[in-house]
Amino acid sequence: MRLGGNAMQRYFNRMTFIRCTLVALFFIGYWTGTACAGSEADELRQKIADIGLLKTQLTDRMQQAEGVLAELLTQQRNLVDEVRLLQKSYDMKSYAQVKNFDRARYNIELLRSLTAYADAFTQKIQFYHAGYDKLTYLRQSAEDDIKMIQTMNNFEIDALTTQISLVINTYLREAHVIQIDPEKIELPSAESIWEKVVQKKL
């Protein structure tokens, strides 16, 4: 069946309208997807900046904690040397004898505190190192995801940003000042310190 001139014109007008509509819908979808991807990329970039700042703060705390630990270990070494000297000088065979010598007993008590705090700072340094390594991994993951953001779904990106937030919140509390609660420090027994000194395990 052949179409008349007006019918043909209406047909072409309709087809042109459909094509334009499809093209418009395509670009709307593209622009929407691009806008979402851009927003997600911006969020990841902000997370990367947050990670960089926190890594710097953790590095500062690590160096500070390492400095304190070095001082504690130096004092510990000096006291251990003195206790061993007193042990030889007074021929002390057991901790029971230490109680009869004020200087030796006093040094043992100091060593109890020094050893406990040295252990606490060692654990804190390990905590900082673990946080630094986790943040390094997450930063690399975020940088990789930005490069592939067009091929990723929202769930994958949200999962990464959530994970980053959790890690940041875990270590942010420790980023400004070294937190060691004296009430949670458990001192080793005086006798165990004496045994370590005698056995050269301290």
Confidence of residue 168 (pLDDT cuts 50, 70, 90): very high
- With respect to residue 133, please indicate whether it lies within any of the assigned structural domains: yes
Task: State how many domains the chain has.
Answer: 1
In this predicted structure, the answer to whether residue 150 has a pLDDT above a threshold of 80 is: no
171, part of any domain: yes
The vertex-182 CA angle with 67 and 81, nearest 5°, equals 55
- pLDDT, tens only, 22-43: 433 333 343 334 444 568 888 9
Residue 167 maps to a domain: yes
Model confidence pTM above 0.95: no
Residue 2 included in any domain: no
190 within some domain = yes
Per-residue model confidence as pLDDT tens digits over 68-114: 999 999 999 999 999 999 999 999 999 999 989 999 999 999 999 99
Residue 162 sits in which domain range? 38-198
Domain presence at residue 28: no
Gyration radius from the chain CA atoms: 34
Task: Tell me the pLDDT of the chain averaged across its residues.
Answer: 85
- pLDDT of 121 reads 97
